[in-house]
Amino acid sequence: MTVPSRRRAGEDAEVIVVGAGPAGSTAATYLARAGLDVLLLEKGSFPREKVCGDGLTPRGVKQVIDLGVDTRAEAGWLHNRGLRVVGGGLTLELDWPELSGFPPYGAVRTRLDFDDLLANTARRGGARLLEGTAVTGAVTDERTGRIVGVTARTGPAREPVTYRAPVVLACDGVSARLALSVGIAKRDDRPMGVAVRRYYTSPRTSDDYLESHLELWDRSRPGQPVLMPGYGWIFGMGDGTVNVGLGILSSSKAFGSTDYRALLRSWLDGTPEEWGLREDNAAGRIAGAALPMGFNRVPHYRDGLLLVGDAGGMVNPFNGEGIAYAMESAKLAAECVVQALARRSGPSREHALHGYPVRLRQALGGYYRLGAVFSRLIGHPTIMRTATRYGLPRAALMRLVLKLLAGLYDQRDGDLTDRAIMLATRLTPTA
């Protein structure tokens, strides 16, 4: 028996998903598996490079597992057991917490490979993936003001084309081209970050921990160490290289006025010679990206358009993690769209679609507001140094901090620290 299509005349799909990064591919996978006709549009061609995101905390790994992807080491993943925190002259190794809701390990995989894997998962799930298709804006119904499709340029000649569908998911990253095309601007009162990273050939390529540096010291001049703005990371890729980078928050006075690439080189020139983090060992260029945090672009739903992942400012303000939250928001968006398209067009369908921002606020609103306060505090070097000096020596406190910063706490059967974090997020306004 053939099930009749629910597409109306003139429509190219039931749902258009713009961008085949972690958010877009995740949403397209869930939508297609639910039986919807999904058109997934990607401006690049796989495999393609992306900045940051090679290291996943257990929160990100959970989303990959939920998608049905094999995350075993045998399937090409490099596992890690926790976070190594360096600062204030101290080093503390914190294992990921043992929780019912998250796996007890993080994982590393290059974005070159990871995004390709997720896009192929969406394709196998039934989504129609069109690569080399750069979406330029939204198509709006002149009578209703509703978004009914997108304009794009496709193929080697970048020929203009229009695709139509009753629902569009904007998963187009920090550029948020679709949102901007309909006047949804970012909020300047929410945090932003900038991150740069580079790969180096290094003997530190195999490490059980992701490493976070809370203080960046330029020790390239003997006897004159200089404390620089931002925080850094080093983690092994398991292939002979390490991913090294730094980030700066908008709450820092140095934000927007710093040469981030020069800053990275200055920091690394002061690291031990045996780590190999020098220009001669560089495996590629320094690449950078903006990190839109704390729901800095709203509304997340308007007139047939849902903002998902970085397009909706969903990077965690506590730790700069974006992939986990891109995939989480994609799953929520897909669930709301599936329910909406099971109804007739009109108020009932709109009611289901408006459930998406409500569920986002319930899941992350209070937590992100706490993160915004945290980002403002650590943007002040004095506060950061004081917290590092007095916090790092207290392992029990740091284990709680790790849970808070990484969003790793059980919501139903957690311990006292989990319940404390849950209470704090519930009491924090979500507006």
Q: Looking at per-residue confidence, does 407 or 50 come out higher?
A: 407
| Cβ atoms of 106 and 116 closer than 8 Å | no
Residue 224: pLDDT band with limits 50, 70, 90: confident
What value does the mean pLDDT of the chain take? Answer: 92
- Strand positions, DSSP E, 98-173: 106-108, 128-130, 133-140, 147-154, 159-164, 167-170
Question: What pLDDT does residue 147 have?
Answer: 97
Instruction: Find how far residue 219's CA is from the centre of its chain.
Output: 32
* Cβ atoms of 329 and 308 closer than 8 Å: yes
Distance CA 201, CA 217 (A): 21
- Report the pLDDT value the prediction gives residue 226, as an integer from 0 to 100: 74
Does the pLDDT of residue 9 top 90, yes or no?
Answer: no
CA angle, 300 then 304 then 307, to 5°: 25
Enter the tokens of residue 304: 């047939």
Amino acid 385: pLDDT: 77
Q: Is the pLDDT of residue 60 over 90?
A: yes
pTM (2 d.p.): 0.94
315 and 292 in contact (C-beta within 8 Å)? yes
Q: What is the pLDDT of residues 353-391, one digit of tens each?
A: 999 999 999 999 999 999 999 888 877 777 777 888 878
Measured in degrees and rounded to the nearest 5, phi and psi for residue 315 equal -70, 140
Instruction: Identify whether the C-beta of residue 40 lies closer than 8 Å to the C-beta of residue 20.
Output: yes
> Is 129 within 8 Å of 122 (Cβ atoms)?
yes
Question: Mind listing the domains of the chain with CATH numbers?
Answer: 15-80+106-188+293-383+408-427 (3.50.50.60)
Nearest-CA neighbor of 162 among 173, 148, 174?
148
At residue 4 the predicted structure's pLDDT band, cuts being 50, 70 and 90, is low
Task: Give the pLDDT confidence score for residue 3 in this predicted structure.
Answer: 57
With H, G, I as helix, E, B as strand and everything else as coil, classify residue 374.
helix
Residue 386, number of CB atoms within 10 A of its CB = 12
Residue 316: pLDDT above 50?
yes
pLDDT of residue 88: 84
Say if residue 1's pLDDT is above 70. no
Average pLDDT of the residues in 120-134 = 97
d(CA 363, CA 314): 12
Q: Which pLDDT does position 220 carry in this prediction?
A: 66
User: Residue 288: is its pLDDT beyond 80?
Assistant: yes
SS3 175: helix
CB 129 within 8 A of CB 123: yes
In the predicted structure, residue 344 carries a pLDDT above the cut 80: yes
